[in-house]
Structures are given as C-alpha cells and as structure tokens.
C-alpha cells in the first residue's frame, strides 16, 4: 500500500515538472521550417568505382613534355603520378586520349603521354587526333556513366567559336545532367614549364598565329564526380607536388550545392554564435526545443543596440566552391502583453506584421571572409518596440544565390580573344589561357541555374523587453 502511494506521488511530481518545463518554454504556436534536402550524389561507397582519365592530345600540349631550363616541369611530374592517384580513388582505371575523338590508351602505353611523340601525327591530317580539342567529349562520357570518376588533363585553350551556339550546348547539356545527379566538377590549374608552340592564337583580322617564346603556361586537371573523390585527387596532388612556395596552382569546385549542411540537423548552433550582450543579459538561458530549434532566452533593455549573430563560413560553405553571394532572412515576431510565462496563454501571443527586422552582411564568396554576420533588430530597433512585453522572434536563414568566386580565382590566368594578339606581341614568358574567365562563367551559369534556395539555419530569441 505504502509502495503504491509513493509511486503515485513520484508520478505526480514528474508530471508537475514536465508541465512547468513545457510552460517555461513560453512560446507561441508555430511549426519549424523543414530544411529542403541538400542534393548530394547517391552513396556509392559499396560500389567499386572506375576512374576514366582523358589526355588532351592537341599539338599545343606537346610543349609541356619538353623541359625548359630553370623551370619546374610539373606537367611531367603530375602525369607520372596520375596512375597512382587514380588508384587511390577507384578500383580500376581506364586511359584515353581526346582530340577530335576519344581513343583508348593501353595501360602499358601511358608513359607515352609525357613524351613529345604522343602529340605528333604521321598520318594524313584528316586522321590525326592532334588538330582539335573537343573538351565536351569526356563530359558526354561522364553523363552516360555518372558513377565513375573522370579526370581530364587539358590546356583549356578554347576559342570563342567553341563557346557559342551548338558547340557550347555540347558542353553545357552534359554538365547540367552531371550536376543534377549531385556530382561536382573540380578544376585544378597548375602553372608548369613550357617549351613548345602555342597554336591558334586569334588575331584582330580574324586569323590565327602561333607563339614559341613562352617558358611557363598553366594546364588544368578537371575532375568530375563526387566531392569526396575530387577532394582526394586535390589532396594527393597538394601533398606530392605543390609543396614548394614557388609552385603556383589554383582550385575551384563547380557545384549546384555550395551549401555544406543545415546547422539545425546536427545541432551546430550554440551560445558561441550570439553576441556577448545576450550572454551577459539577465536570466540568460540557451536550449533546444522541438528537438532541433535553438532558443536564446534572456531579459534585455529597450535601449540596447542590435544583436549580432554569426555563423562560421566553414560550417555552411563547401570549401573551394563559388560560395553564396546573397542570403535571405524570413522573420516572424510575436509579442505578449504578459511578460511572465505562467500568465501567458496561447491566445495572448500576437503576430507582428512587420517583416523587415534584421539584416545580413551580404554573401560569402571571398576566401578571406570568415563569417556570415546577422544584425538582429537593425531594421526594427528594440527602442521602437513596446517595453514591458515578452517577445518571441523566429528567424530562418536561407542561402538565396550562389557566388562566382572561381571567375576571380582564375582571372589573372585568362586572356580574351580580342586581347590575345596584343598579349602575344608583348613577348610574355608566362602565357595565359584563352577565354578562361569566359569558360568559368559558362560553368558557373549552368551550376547557378541548378541551384535551389537552401535553408541553412533556424533559431529563435525568447526575451522580455525591459525599460
């Protein structure tokens, strides 16, 4: 009998505690905004992936294979190790050359790629594979078999006529399909020694000329596949070849999903994200409600200035990607004339009609930018709100528009068609890549068209506004 009475009082006690805690949340009725899924490729860890490597066989590539006195030949060094790098990524590697068509290369013939003879042709011009560089062909293969990883080695020297009309769509259509399936495109630019001829430099009159005085010139390793494999290739190259300060290389990741994650899903928002004036406020408390919504509770004076909330860039932006150029905030503000939770009923909460409450610092596209800052109550100052009330402020933060960081990253290595002849006439030692910025813009445009606004975080402030 006594045992049953004891159990009864224990049950009543815990029910009372639960009711007090539930009441202590002191929130209006609302639903947490569901995060739209961040598109990633299907998990294929259990699938034995194949790696497909394509070497640009156009004649201009020959200059990378010949040593230039006093210059570091990274092309030969990288190609030598590419076979090993591929083995770290997949279970089987297939090799090809491409020019006007794709031609398989036997594994025991790979060493020929770093020899000048690989880029020569003894057949008639119509049968040679070194007169064109149809970069869209490997992309087309990647579209057909998206489970593989594709590595393309090229000088990316494309004329304007290759970047318009039907020729352009041959590149953009496969790229669009690749990105839709959650894959990405990593581009690693490597400045290497060069000792040869650069062909097809456009002139103002409409023809082309050649140049033989360059001692350095960038080549590019394009990796198509999962971000995991792209990062593996990049890491291997950095560890093996880009160790000296004079080694010059650039990297970007073309992806339609530059958002790394939603911060609520792994409860990555903490007290560290809010400004110290909140942390030092009276009756401060931080907790998660409804499982994933972080809530800051506190009392604050109505003369206080805006509250700063910050998110580390590394927690939301995929490294190496174009970042986000614009964020959007969705605000919902409720207030109650009662400032004591024990007296507030559901009907006491009134939704505010004002939607301009806070501002973001803009975008995250520069490598030097470390944080996304949000100035809460910068548009609707606390001093213009009624004191003596309780407020509940719910904020959803969206990545609204992707950036274009890659265009700026590769800008110094690019020369336009219209400037190419004048650039050549200046007898440059380091020759730039034709239309590189335009190529990056095209790739970014396809990726941006596939981008969907993405919820990156939701949070709430539950506070009493004091005079």
> How many Å apart are CA 44 and CA 183, to the nearest integer?
12
**pLDDT, the chain, mean:** 88
Tokens, residue 133: 């560089």
pLDDT (0 to 100) of residue 5: 57
Q: Could you count the other beta carbons within 10 Å of the beta carbon of residue 433?
A: 20
- On the CB side of 292, how many CA atoms lie within 13 Å of its CA? 14
Q: Give the per-residue pLDDT at 130.
A: 77
Residue 423, classed as helix, strand or coil, is helix
- ∠ at Cα 66 (63, 69), nearest 5°? 115
**Percentage above 70 pLDDT, the chain:** 91
Q: Positive or negative CA dihedral for 112, 228, 401, 380?
A: negative
pLDDT at 280: 94
3-state secondary structure (DSSP) of residue 452: coil
- For residue range 182-234, what is the model confidence (pLDDT) as tens digits? 999 999 999 999 999 999 999 999 899 999 999 999 999 999 999 999 999 99
Please determine, for residue 39, whether its predicted confidence score (pLDDT) is greater than 70: no
Which pLDDT score is estimated for 16?
Answer: 41
What pLDDT sits at residue 70? 87
Report pLDDT digits (tens) over 61-73.
999 999 999 888 9
Report whether pLDDT(17) > 70: no
The answer for 257, left when phi > 0, alpha when psi is -120 to 50, beta otherwise, is beta
**% the chain with pLDDT above 90:** 69
Place of tokens 């078999």: 145
Q: Assess contact for 213 and 196: CB atoms under 8 A.
A: no
Burial class of 153 by CB neighbour count within 10 A (0 to 12, 13 to 18, 19+) = buried
Q: Average pLDDT of 445-453?
A: 93
Rounded CA gap, 201 and 157, in Å? 9
pLDDT tens column, 114-133: 999 999 887 766 678 778 88
Q: Which residues contact 349 (CB under 8 A, 6 or more apart)?
A: 28, 29, 334, 335, 336, 392
Residue 23: band (very low, low, confident or very high) from pLDDT cuts 50, 70, 90: very low
Q: What is the pLDDT of residue 3?
A: 58
* pTM of structure: 0.86
* 31 CB neighbour count, 10 Å cutoff: 6
306-339 per-position pLDDT tens digit? 899 999 999 999 999 999 999 999 999 999 998 7
Query: pLDDT at position 458, please?
Result: 97
pLDDT attached to residue 14: 42
Per-residue pLDDT reduced to its tens digit, 341-361: 878 887 789 999 988 999 998
pLDDT band of 10, cuts 50, 70, 90: very low
CB 442 within 8 A of CB 163: yes
DSSP labels for 234-270? Answer: HHHHHHHH--STT--EEEEEE-S--B---TTTTT---
Strand order in the sheet with 324-336: 282-289, 293-301, 454-466, 389-402, 324-336, 350-351
Q: How far is CA 40 from CA 160, 326, 450, in A?
A: 33, 22, 13
- Which pLDDT score, from 0 to 100, does residue 21 have? 40
Q: How many Cα atoms sit within 13 Å of 378 on the Cβ side?
A: 12
Reply yes or no on whether the pLDDT at 7 is more than 70: no
The answer to whether the CB of 357 falls within 8 A of the CB of 376 is yes
Identify which has the larger pLDDT, 236 or 16.
236
Contact 190, 233 (CB under 8 A): no
Q: Given this model, what pLDDT does residue 47 score?
A: 59
| pLDDT at residue 305 is higher than 50 | yes
């Amino acid at each position: 009998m006594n045992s049953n009475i004891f159990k009864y009082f224990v049950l009543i006690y815990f029910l009372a505690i639960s009711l007090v805690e539930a009441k202590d949340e002191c929130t209006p009725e609302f639903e947490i905004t569901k995060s739209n899924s961040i598109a990633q490729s299907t998990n294929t860890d259990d699938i034995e992936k194949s790696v497909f490597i394509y070497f640009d066989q156009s004649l201009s590539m020959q200059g990378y294979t010949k040593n230039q006195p006093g210059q570091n030949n990274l092309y030969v060094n990288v190609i030598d190790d590419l076979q090993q790098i591929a083995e770290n990524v997949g279970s089987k590697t297939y090799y090809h050359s491409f020019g006007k068509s794709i031609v398989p290369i036997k594994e025991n013939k790979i060493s020929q790629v770093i020899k000048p003879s690989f880029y020569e042709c003894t057949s008639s011009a119509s049968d040679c594979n070194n007169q064109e560089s149809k970069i869209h062909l490997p992309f087309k293969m990647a579209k057909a078999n998206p489970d593989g990883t594709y590595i393309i080695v090229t000088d990316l020297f494309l004329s304007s006529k290759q970047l318009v009309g039907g020729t352009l769509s041959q590149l953009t259509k496969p790229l669009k399909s690749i990105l839709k399936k959650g894959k990405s495109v990593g581009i690693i630019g490597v400045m290497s020694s060069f000792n040869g001829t650069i062909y097809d430099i456009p002139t103002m009159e409409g023809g082309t000329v050649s140049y033989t005085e360059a001692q350095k010139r960038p080549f590019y390793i394009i990796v198509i596949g999962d971000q995991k494999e792209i990062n593996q290739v990049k890491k291997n190259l950095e560890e093996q070849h880009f160790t000296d300060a004079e080694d010059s290389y650039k990297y970007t990741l073309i992806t339609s999903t530059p958002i790394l994650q939603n911060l609520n899903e792994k409860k990555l928002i903490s007290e560290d994200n809010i400004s110290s004036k909140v942390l030092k406020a009276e009756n401060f408390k931080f907790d998660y409600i409804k499982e994933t919504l972080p809530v800051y509770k506190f009392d604050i004076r109505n003369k206080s200035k805006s509250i700063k909330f910050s998110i580390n860039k590394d927690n939301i932006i995929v490294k190496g990607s174009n970042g986000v150029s614009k964020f959007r905030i969705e605000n919902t503000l409720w207030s109650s004339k009662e400032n004591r939770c024990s007296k507030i009923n559901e009907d006491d909460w009134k939704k505010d009609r004002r939607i301009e409450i806070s501002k973001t610092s803009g975008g995250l596209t520069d490598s030097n930018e470390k944080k996304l800052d949000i100035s809460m109550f910068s548009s609707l100052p606390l001093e213009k709100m009624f004191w003596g009330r309780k407020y509940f402020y719910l904020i959803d933060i969206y990545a609204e528009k992707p950036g274009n960081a890659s265009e700026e990253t590769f800008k110094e290595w690019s020369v336009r068609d219209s400037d190419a002849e004048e650039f050549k006439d200046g007898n440059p030692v380091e020759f730039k890549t034709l239309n590189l910025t335009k190529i990056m813009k095209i790739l970014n445009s396809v990726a941006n068209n596939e981008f969907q606004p993405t919820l990156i975080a939701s949070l709430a402030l539950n506070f009493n506004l004091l005079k």
